[in-house]
Structure 1
Amino acid sequence: MKQLHLIPYIITILLAFSCKPKAEQTPAPILTDTALENAIIYEANIRQYDPEGSFKAFTKDIPQLKQLGVKIIWLMPVFPISETKRKATGGDFASLIEDETERKKMLGSYYAVSDYTKINPEFGTIQDFRELVKTAHQNNMYVILDWVPNHTGWDHVWLKTNPEFYAKNNKGEITDPLNDDGTSKGWGDVAQLDYSNPDMQKAMIKDMMYWVETEDIDGFRCDHIEPTPVAFWKKAITELSAKKALFMLAENDDPKFMKTDLFDMEYGWKAHHLIKEIVHKEKTLKDFDALMEYIDTTYENDDIIMNFVTNHDENSWAGTIQERLGDAAELATALTYTIPGMPLIYSGQEYNLNHRLKFFEKDSIPKTKSNMWALLEKLGTLKTTNIALHGGKAKASYKRLHTGNNQVLAFKRYKENKELIFIGNLSDSLQTCQLPITGPFKDYIKDKSLTHQENDTLTLQPWEYKILVE
């Protein structure tokens, strides 16, 4: 009979545990506009982060990212990947590989999601994921998930339970994403969702809400949003943000997704490509000036542009930083920190990654700190401590400085009583220039004092740059 007296106690204990939030997370630091002003975002490729390729391996290094000034961690998709039509290296389906050992090496695309509310076992468990988020929050960082709203993998449960959620051709067949002319985009491993279906939109928002309410994530990087309607994002972001302040990043460069109460930040694709074109003498600084004018007049004052020299797409498909920028790599990196916006670091960039990471199978980044770690740490300190580099919703001002040389870019960033000047030789030959600046400065990168009178001649080596601070 005594055992029966334990039943109410056991029930009470079970109820107490069941009422706890599933994630049992450390509360996230409160996301404010102020926190975004000096933020640096880090794209984490968990699969390729190290030989282990796990949440646990990445979590151990989160405190180190603080040395680089990282404030936002963007996790590439953490969801299970569909087996059906899984892609392999070379672009074919893994199922076509006869050798079983080789076939098993093909892990597929992160962007062929089979379940929006589960964790890819390749990376670990939900508990491992929660520990990652907890560690980030303890280090005053935010975690955003890479969300794939345009399509799902072919194993997704909706294909069985809700085929009406998907786009169909004139034969009534569910299709992979198509171009405007009806040809395939080449993404045969995914099925196109139909955003004219309101029930599908509700289901999508519900799955996004799971991560906000249950796992306490801090926002989303939304993949390939151009085909999705603005009206959906107005509804989704309004509902999600009602639960907590979120940071929303759009993979796009169209201001229509950046209007009031929509996305906070989008890709600086135009600047990314233009810098490369200038380096390769395909464009000039006149084009750079035109782009800065376009951004200033087209976007709203609180829109944020993400500046980068590499990311997962560029590295795997367009080439390494060294392949694309050569000796101009360091200058281009410094530009991403000094022009208005938020700089991105992609996994491996801090370790001088110099090979194209495999996209559909296991690979690994180097983990030896050298000159690039030191540069990013130095630029990170400047970005996070100098208000003249604020790049968020109350960004520092930008003013182009004339140099008398169409190969030398110079501009001033300023806010309140702080100023910073960038000067860069965007050519592979020695250049001289004159600058309309006067005063003693510190050459921040070289940590040397510099005195300059207005219209003094300055000589710059090929691809040399200076960041002058007071």
Structure 2
Amino acid sequence: MKKILIATALIGSLVACKNEPKEQEKKETPETALAPVSDEVLETAVIYEANIRQYSEEGSFEAFTRDIPQLRELGVKVIWLMPVYPISSTKSKGSLGSYYAITDYTKVNPEFGTLEDFRKLVKTAHDNGIYVILDWVANHTGWDHVWVEEHPEYYTRDEEGNIIDPVNPETGESWDWTDVADLNYDNKDMRQEMIKDMLYWIEEEDIDGYRCDVAHQVPVDFWEDAAARLREVKPVFMLAEAEQPELLENAFDMQYAWEGHHIMNEIAQGKMTVKDWDAYIAKNDSILEPDDIFMNFTSNHDENSWNGTVFERMGDAAATFAAMTYVIPGMPLIYSGQEYDMDKRLLFFEKDTIIRKKGKFYPLYEKLGKLKNTGKALNGGKKAASYLRLDSSDNEKILAFAREKDGDRIVFIANLSDVPLEFTVEAEGDYTDYMSGDKITLEPGTPCNYAPWEYHILVGE
């Protein structure tokens, strides 16, 4: 594989273009439409994971739609909707069940509203220059899906012919996802039905791509076939819940930075150091292609519900690592509620509610989003800005690097430890501290004094 310039960020402006009327009378066709998602858009994008059930007291499409213009203030260019489909009641968990136990891939969950409500959400996003991708669960269905009765051959079965829930391929033991039935990708007819259902949302509802659940558990050749078929209709953005480079070759645009996320958690907890981060970056440099994109995050629905809030996992370092997700190579994610300093684990199978009250993190994400959207030095798509590690007098605790593209330059310096430090950094030049507006001159050998978890984003002049 070609070596990656350790860089990824994002560029682009969203351009509206004329759209020919569709041959459908069931929904209004706007005179103008958002231009299809492009590589240029991905360079400067922030992605937002929307948990519709928990976002508001109503838990509805309509309530979330009202706040979409506000997401634009945060620099969001892609909304990822957690599964919006009807939920199976057979073998369900909790009183409401899991979003990921789907009964019909081509309908919306009445808990959230109507199809017209969903269409209004998509149109509002597009009107605000934001793309919408759906969470697609191709590995399994709920037990109430029509395929269970009509096409049992679409599923994995045991020696007695009973459909089974998904199992760990390494051990053969159940993952304890007992509320879902495992699909059999040896069945070619099932594959075609799955692609047909994916095409529905692209062709009929004008969505812009998919975040694909446990993508590594589904054969790569299926994703390649599906992506090719979708892209015959229009350009789409494909995000894999995986860290599997072969998925990025022909099917997906972006994958999760799971390992990077875990390293951030470990550094915050004092179990790893900046040297572990450097090793992670070096490894990616050797195995990834220049146009591979990582999604960087401090939380998501799995982390929040099962492993703890960002404050439980990262403590006083939460803001520092939030900033890091914007300035390191890749695309940053905001999970519903993070912009409101959410400090609770959201229930997964029951109704819960995010308290939408602005505190410390909303203005932080707003400022970081503006920097991500507007400068080339943080480009993180397929033509990313460069990443250059800067040496310091304490490379175990101080992370310092420069990002640069087309003359734009940003330097990031952070004390990734829980103790105050005096150190020097091998960097020079005149900069503006992005957060404070102060003018900074860097010279090699000049002492710096940083409090625990203190960081600075310096914009070159």
TM score, norm. by length of structure 1: 0.91
Distance 1:25 1:324, change over 3 A: farther
Distance 1:368 1:244, change over 3 A: same
Equivalent residue in structure 2 for 1:135, among 99, 102, 124: 124
Alignment of 1:31-430 (within 5 A): 31-88=37-94, 106-180=95-169, 181-259=171-249, 261-405=250-394, 406-430=396-420
CA contact (8 A) 2:36 2:236 kept: no
The match for 2:425 is 435
Gaps of 5+ in 1: 1-16, 89-105
Shift of 1:295: 1.4
1:181-238 residue CA offsets vs partner (Å, 9 max, x unmatched) = 3221000000000000000000000000000000010000000111211111111100
% identity of equivalent residues: 54
**What CA distance in whole angstroms lies between the structure 2 residues aligned with 1:44 and 1:53?**
11
SS in 1 for 2:226: helix
User: Larger relative CO (CA 8 A, sep 6+): 1 or 2?
Assistant: 2
**What CA distance in whole angstroms lies between the structure 1 residues aligned with 2:96 and 2:127?**
32
**What CA distance in whole angstroms lies between the structure 2 residues aligned with 1:212 and 1:285?**
42
Distance 1:365 1:254, change over 3 A: same
**What CA distance in whole angstroms lies between the structure 2 residues aligned with 1:75 and 1:331?**
26
Residue type at the aligned position of 2:352: D
SS in 2 for 1:255: coil
SS in 1 for 2:54: coil
Comparing both structures, which one devotes a greater share of its residues to helix? 1
Distance 1:351 1:299, change over 3 A: same
**What CA distance in whole angstroms lies between the structure 2 residues aligned with 1:110 and 1:25?**
30
Q: CA RMSD in A?
A: 1.2
CA contact (8 A) 2:427 2:443 kept: yes
Is 1:20–2:21 an aligned residue pair?
A: no
Shift of 1:243: 0.2
Residue type at the aligned position of 1:351: Y
**What CA distance in whole angstroms lies between the structure 2 residues aligned with 1:359 and 1:408?**
37
Residue type at the aligned position of 1:164: E
**What CA distance in whole angstroms lies between the structure 2 residues aligned with 1:335 and 1:29?**
30
Higher Cα Rg, which structure: 1
Residue type at the aligned position of 1:284: T
Q: How many residues align?
A: 436
Is 1:444–2:439 an aligned residue pair?
A: no
1:336-376 residue CA offsets vs partner (Å, 9 max, x unmatched) = 00000000000000000000000001001011111100000
TM score, norm. by length of structure 2: 0.93
Shift of 1:23: 4.1
Shift of 1:121: 0.2
Residue type at the aligned position of 1:53: G
**What CA distance in whole angstroms lies between the structure 2 residues aligned with 1:68 and 1:136?**
14
SS in 1 for 2:439: strand
CA contact (8 A) 2:36 2:208 kept: no
CA contact (8 A) 1:42 1:344 kept: yes
